[in-house]
């Protein structure tokens, strides 16, 4: 999905740190660290317009924030 996001320059104009928010490279690095070679990624629906791109980015950001919240709750309990 990230390559589809990168095809929408309006996202990066609004969020200059967009590339730091993308996760695919970090996930691949983590998998390699664990001794697994990342395999091919299944095709995703193209993000044909700006609205779809913003929606996808919203979901990705939400999952990142959710992970942070879950991690904090696990540490507290």
pLDDT the model gives residue 35 = 96
**Number of independent structural domains in the chain:** 1
Q: Which residues contact 32 (CB under 8 A, 6 or more apart)?
A: 38
pLDDT the model gives residue 64 = 80
Domain that holds residue 72: 2-76
pLDDT digits (tens, 9 = 90+) for 8-30: 999 999 999 988 888 888 889 99
Whether the full predicted model's pTM is greater than 0.75, yes or no, is no
Instruction: Tell me the CA distances in angstroms from 38 to 5, 31, 43, 65, one per residue in order.
Output: 20, 7, 15, 24
pLDDT digits (tens, 9 = 90+) for 23-74: 888 889 999 999 999 988 777 777 889 999 999 999 888 888 887 788 888 8
């Amino acid at each position: 999905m990230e390559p589809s996001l990168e095809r929408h320059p309006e996202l990066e104009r609004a969020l200059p740190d967009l590339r730091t928010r993308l996760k695919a490279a970090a996930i691949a690095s983590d998998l390699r660290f664990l001794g697994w070679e990342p395999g091919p990624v299944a095709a995703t629906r193209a993000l044909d317009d700006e609205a779809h791109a913003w929606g996808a980015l919203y979901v990705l950001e939400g999952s990142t924030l959710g992970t942070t919240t879950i991690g904090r709750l696990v540490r507290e309990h």
